[in-house]
Amino acid sequence: MGIRSVVAPEPGLTANNQLHHHHHLNSSFQSQNHHNYHTIRIRGSFLVILLSIISLALLVAVFILIALVRRLKSSKTSANGNPTVSSKSNNNNNLPKFAAHISMNFTSSPDQKRNCLYGVNSGRLPSAKLRGVQVFTYKDLELATDGFAEANVIGRGAFGVVYRGTLSDGTVAAIKNIRREGRQGERGFRFEVDLLSRLRSPYLVELLGYCADQNHRLLIFEFMSNGSLQKQIHSTGHRHQPLDWGTRLRIALDCAKALEFLHEHAATSVIHRNFKCSNVLLDHSFRARVSDFELAKMGPDKINDQILTRALGTAGYMAPEYASMGKLTTKSDVYSYGVVLLELLTGRTPIDTDRPPGEHFLVTWALPRLTNGEKVIQMVDPALQGEYSKKELVQVAAIAAVCVQPEADYRPLMTDVVQSLIPLVKRLSATYPSTSSRFHNQLSSPMS
């Protein structure tokens, strides 16, 4: 039935009236109908808006969820050891690339793995940064060194005693038992672990691991079987034959490359600050690697910028501006390198009060002689017994002379030193036939 049947004519109304009434009813119905339709439309629109808001809210929630999952995943990845933070790949030069080391947290807890302290992830990086560096317990190292037996002592330095030890996997290592003095010592230990675990170069002694078990702090290094350059050139009655000219040149180049790496190739330049003969270690084929980073400092952004600091280092090796005013730059290392080069040339120590007056200080004695061919020949280490090339000697003396200039700005960059030494070392194979087994080893070494 249609709508019309509902609208029955009322009694007492004329046809016209009826018609009018009908029309009126009809229009009133239509208006009501229109009103209903309008209400339905408003309700419909309201529903559409509501649904849109809900779906929008859902969409936002999904986005937030995805972002959270991603963040969680990336933090897990960095904790798992993938190098998500690469100091080298950091393009912002104003950021201290090694700043992350500050966040390492060495808190002791017996529950921690192997009872040693960790570079606990107070931020997100240490395990990634300490890739390849093992954590040892004090017990592990006691076993490795026969209870730190005196017979295993291979050296004593200002910061502790070094032992030869055999690790559980058979690796022979140098184990440095660090004497800790207050917070500074602790900071130095953390700094060295963090720095060496990031700096990998064939010209630096490799850090194999560390131990921070309760109060013990030890560093485990690769063992350098020929000891320090100090022992090789200065120890009287040393059982090895004196280092030959070729070996000395090769050592000079290896050391120059080590400092070049620290100054110019590390993400932030590093000033060694204690470069000297006893911190140059020699492997089985007399290839040199630089060690000992207790005093190292993260350098300024630019190569010649200076840091004002306490003058710490070794007398005889410290650049004058650093020793007297604490002005530290990469050029301070260049000066120390020049002193080591003079030791290689002359066989003399940087300070020797047993010598006649005027010869106590190697640099002040050598500097005026270094640019005079005749005098240079008179300065040469007698242990070489005349076995060297005079031309090369003069060239090396000239390099040493610029490195030990009293004015820091006149000293060269380590890159320049490396470039000057490379042709001399390359020529060695022609000058020295392969009869010298030591030199033969050097040429076939992967570091060449």
Ligand X SMILES: Nc1ncnc2c1ncn2[C@@H]1O[C@H](COP(=O)(O)OP(=O)(O)OP(=O)(O)O)[C@@H](O)[C@H]1O
For ligand X, the binding residues (CB under 6 A) are: 154-160, 162, 174, 176, 205, 221, 223-224, 227-228, 230-231, 274, 278-279, 281, 291-292
- The residue length of the chain stands at 448
Distance CA 240, CA 257 (A): 25
CB of 354 to ligand X, least distance (A): 21
CB of 238 to ligand X, least distance (A): 12
Q: At what angle do helices 330-346 and 414-431 cross, to 10 degrees?
A: 30
Two structure tokens written together for 158: 């200002």
8 Å CB contact between 205 and 281: yes
Distance CA 446, CA 122 (A): 38
CB-wise, 257 or 276, nearer to ligand X? Answer: 276
CB of 239 to ligand X, least distance (A): 14
8 Å CB contact between 411 and 331: yes
CB-wise, 159 or 322, nearer to ligand X? Answer: 159
- Give the DSSP per-residue string, 56-81: HHHHHHHHHHHHHHHHHHHHHHHHTT
Q: Which residues pair with 219 in a beta bridge?
A: 176, 210
CB of 175 to ligand X, least distance (A): 9
* C-beta neighbour count of 26 within 10 angstroms: 14
Q: Cα dist. 79→82, 125, 420 in Å?
A: 7, 6, 44
Distance CA 352, CA 383 (A): 18
DSSP state of 263: I
CB-wise, 176 or 348, nearer to ligand X? Answer: 176
8 Å CB contact between 107 and 120: yes
Tell me if 129 is assigned to a ligand binding site: no
CB-wise, 223 or 432, nearer to ligand X? Answer: 223
CB of 381 to ligand X, least distance (A): 20
Cα-flanking dihedrals φ and ψ of residue 220, to 5°?
-115, 120
CB of 267 to ligand X, least distance (A): 25
How open is the CA angle 23-29-35, to the nearest 5 degrees? 135
Sign of CA pseudo-dihedral 62, 64, 68, 70: positive
CB-wise, 100 or 174, nearer to ligand X? Answer: 174
Distance CA 256, CA 425 (A): 12
CB of 318 to ligand X, least distance (A): 13
Distance CA 56, CA 51 (A): 8
CB-wise, 267 or 282, nearer to ligand X? Answer: 282
| Of residues 332, 290, 331, the one with CA closest to residue 312 | 332
CB of 173 to ligand X, least distance (A): 8
Q: Which residues pair with 440 in a beta bridge?
A: none
CB-wise, 176 or 327, nearer to ligand X? Answer: 176
CB-wise, 166 or 436, nearer to ligand X? Answer: 166
CB-wise, 100 or 281, nearer to ligand X? Answer: 281
CB of 182 to ligand X, least distance (A): 17
Encode 387-411: b = buried (16+ Cβ within 10 Å), e = exposed: ebbeebbebbbebbbbbbbeebeeb
Please state the residue numbers annotated as binding site for ATP.
Answer: 176
Please state the residue numbers annotated as binding site.
Answer: 176
